[in-house]
A and B are shown apart, each in its own frame.
Chain A
Amino acid sequence: MSTPASASTALLQLSDVRKSYNIGLPNEAEVLHGIDLQVARGEFVALIGPSGSGKSTLLNIVGLLERMTGGSYQVNGNSVGALDDRGLTLLRRETLGFVFQFHHLLPAFSALENVTMPGLIREGFVSRQQRNRARELLAAVGLADAMDKRPSELSGGMQQRVAIARALVFDPPLVLADEPTGNLDTASSDEVFAELRRMHKERGTSFVIVTHDPRLAARCDRLVELVDGKIARDEPIAGNDAPADAA
């Protein structure tokens, strides 16, 4: 399809990716019918589509949380098909950050601990360096005063900003966001989105954002629309602030 990136600089490269559920059962259903998609480094992509169009499934496959049942997928130069669960996990660790809906912080841990958790998972302890980096990131998203608060003590918008800081703590090349502004009011929604755009601009991180909100989708650089498990539309959006290395 009409993607601006060449294969060599592509961060994501999906060709003919298919996903079926309940394979071998009478209720077997294919929800993705051959997706071809390339995303270059530094892109800011909105993934939209009606409910049941398969966009969350696609995001999970891209995020290495689910396996495709057909086709091929390369992320950051690594072919995904042959990897076992551990391989997928380690690749996910190195390559991807996630921002889910606002109730997806760890409720038992403070904002700062949520942001240092990826480091704890990797190293088994949190170094001073990692803690400082987490502090910087939280300060950068405007939460310098809320670092020691639990998620339940934070507003939805604040929680999402913690999630953004968490996704970026190891500077992954790609951040996936699943309805990052779902359940937020308009003001908080704008605030969180602005934060995503700012991080994109400052760090050159690629973003793929699943959203229902056409207002937000319109403020991305590229729009991919999924309908019934197929890409129905894939087009650049002009006028938004483009990252440095985008075509």
Chain B
Amino acid sequence: MVFRAWLGFETRVAIRFLREGRLQTVLIMVGVAAGVAVIAYISALVTGLQKNTFDKTLGGQAHVTVQALDDVVTPARLPQSGTVLFSDVQAKAQRLRSVSNWQSLLPLLERRPGVAAVSPIVSGGGLAVRGEATQSIALSGVDLDRYDRVVRLREKVVAGVARLDPGDAIIGTELASDLGLRPGDRLAILTGAVSETVRVTALVDLGVRELNRRTVIVPLRLAQSLLGLPGGATSLDLALHDVWSAKDVALELRQQFPYKVESWQETNAQLVSALNAQSVSTGLIRLIVLIVVVLGIASVLVVSVVQKRREIGILRAMGATRGQMVRVFLVQGGIVGAVGSVLGLALALLMIYLFTVFVRGSDGQPLFAIVLPLSLALQVALMASACGVLAAIAPARRAAAMDPAQAIRI
């Protein structure tokens, strides 16, 4: 009975007041719905966009890479104090160098908490030749199982079977079409003076055209011999359980080991700042729309309080307490927020549907997946309802502060 009675009076009167002020109620609910739709749509859109950008960029990248320190010019003699040194120091050309002692570093890195996988890589430039055609390539020598754990290469195979036995190679899709290659075909790889013929086992789509045009993945040993680094690895690629911890992990490794350690955030500084700017703008838009929604609800309720002065007076005379009158208006705000957010979420779903139907890339496929996750929908709905109640506070207090004797007199 207590449960049944809770807010019974307030809810019934609130609903009736809202139904009575038809046009006003419809207008404000449409207003709230529009606001909620914008918030939900923008959030879904930006989440989809960021996830897409993120996947595309990080898909073929390690979260943290460990490389040998850059070669630097060491001055022959330290300048003495008080002397001025006129010198023209030319930066050294960075030759390919192996991460020293990478074999013993590998298990150390693998044991670190937070590290999901470590893969040694030998990478360098080269040329792919087939018949008359020549393409410059980025050559990577990897241990396929380890590499797969870092960049999920097997998920990106579009033709053939990912296999890296001696003499095998996995290449990007664009490169395959440029050179007219299919799985099973052979191509020659040239680096400096060394040349080697390999057989294509699989084509991969790494999500970025430029990568697809350049990538040739071969067994570690083959790359070592092609690039003249027997037994070496130019870098160790790390995959982490938590992508966002990359920066901290990189910092720790840098302090611990004499290597050049970079996180994906550092290699993609522009991307990170772009994503941040996007998130901040989205937050700002959401905040402003929310403020507009709150002000809209508040202004309609203020008018409603003035219109309902006599009713408020009558209810007070009949024994309604101030608290009850406050709650009548808070409940109205909550209902407007809740109904508005249900309508708004429906509208957002429609907008998302239209986006996926009408906005397509050059290949006729949707640009990226944009979905409205239930958690986001609930969060937005909850926020809008809470804002409805919040918006009603000032009008509700005004209603309660009304002197019933004066309210009745009107």
Q: Nearest-CB distance from A77 to chain B (Å)?
A: 18
Of the stretches B13-21, B111-119, B283-291, B349-357, the one at the interface is B13-21
* A106/B311 in contact, CB under 8 A: yes
The digit string for A124-141, where 1 denotes a CB below 8 A from any CB of B, is 110000000000000000
Q: Which of B129-179 contact A (CB under 8 A)?
A: none
A15 to B314, CA, bound (A): 28
Q: Nearest-CB distance from B320 to chain A (Å)?
A: 5
| Secondary structure call for the B interface | helix
Contacting residue for A63 out of B5, B311, B317, B403, CB 8 A: B317
**Is residue B322 within 8 Å, beta carbon to beta carbon, of the partner chain?**
yes
**Is residue A72 within 8 Å, beta carbon to beta carbon, of the partner chain?**
no
* A122/B405 in contact, CB under 8 A: no
A104 to B7, CA, bound (A): 24
Q: Which of A88-121 contact B (CB under 8 A)?
A: 89-90, 92-93, 98, 100, 103-109, 117-118, 120-121
A109 to B318, CA, bound (A): 14
Known A108-B17, A108-B311, A121-B319; judge A100-B8 contact (CB<8 A): no
**Is residue A85 within 8 Å, beta carbon to beta carbon, of the partner chain?**
yes
A105 to B319, CA, bound (A): 14
Contacting residue for B314 out of A92, A104, A122, CB 8 A: A104
A92 to B409, CA, bound (A): 18
Using Cβ atoms and an 8 Å threshold, which residues of chain B touch A117? 315, 318
Known A117-B318, A123-B5, A123-B8; judge A107-B405 contact (CB<8 A): no
Contacting residue for A121 out of B6, B16, B311, B315, CB 8 A: B315
Q: Nearest-CB distance from A168 to chain B (Å)?
A: 12
Using Cβ atoms and an 8 Å threshold, which residues of chain B touch A98? 317-318
Give the tally of cross-chain contacts (CB within 8 A). Answer: 76
* A124/B4 in contact, CB under 8 A: yes
* A89/B310 in contact, CB under 8 A: no
* A92/B408 in contact, CB under 8 A: no
Using Cβ atoms and an 8 Å threshold, which residues of chain B touch A65? 316-317, 403-405, 408
Using Cβ atoms and an 8 Å threshold, which residues of chain A touch B244? none
A86 to B405, CA, bound (A): 15
Closest-by-CB residue of A relative to B403 is A66
**Is residue B12 within 8 Å, beta carbon to beta carbon, of the partner chain?**
yes
Q: Which of A35-90 contact B (CB under 8 A)?
A: 56, 60, 63, 65-66, 85-86, 89-90
Q: Nearest-CB distance from A40 to chain B (Å)?
A: 24
* B6/A124 in contact, CB under 8 A: yes
The digit string for B275-296, where 1 denotes a CB below 8 A from any CB of A, is 0000000000000000000000
* B319/A93 in contact, CB under 8 A: yes
* B20/A118 in contact, CB under 8 A: no
The digit string for B1-36, where 1 denotes a CB below 8 A from any CB of A, is 000111111001100110110000000000000000
Q: Which of A121-168 contact B (CB under 8 A)?
A: 121-125, 166
Closest-by-CB residue of B relative to A56 is B409
Using Cβ atoms and an 8 Å threshold, which residues of chain A touch B315? 106, 117, 121
* A89/B316 in contact, CB under 8 A: yes
Q: Nearest-CB distance from A125 to chain B (Å)?
A: 5
* B8/A120 in contact, CB under 8 A: yes
The 5 A-B pairs with the shortest beta carbon distances in the complex, nearest first, are A124-B5, A93-B319, A124-B8, A65-B405, A108-B20
Q: Which residues of A contact B (CB under 8 A)?
A: 56, 60, 63, 65-66, 85-86, 89-90, 92-93, 98, 100, 103-109, 117-118, 120-125, 166
Q: Which residues of B contact A (CB under 8 A)?
A: 4-9, 12-13, 16-17, 19-20, 310-311, 314-324, 403-405, 408-409
The 17 listed contacts between A and B (C-beta, < 8 Å) are A56-B409, A63-B317, A66-B403, A86-B323, A89-B316, A89-B320, A90-B319, A90-B321, A92-B317, A93-B319, A100-B408, A104-B314, A106-B315, A117-B318, A121-B320, A123-B5, A124-B7
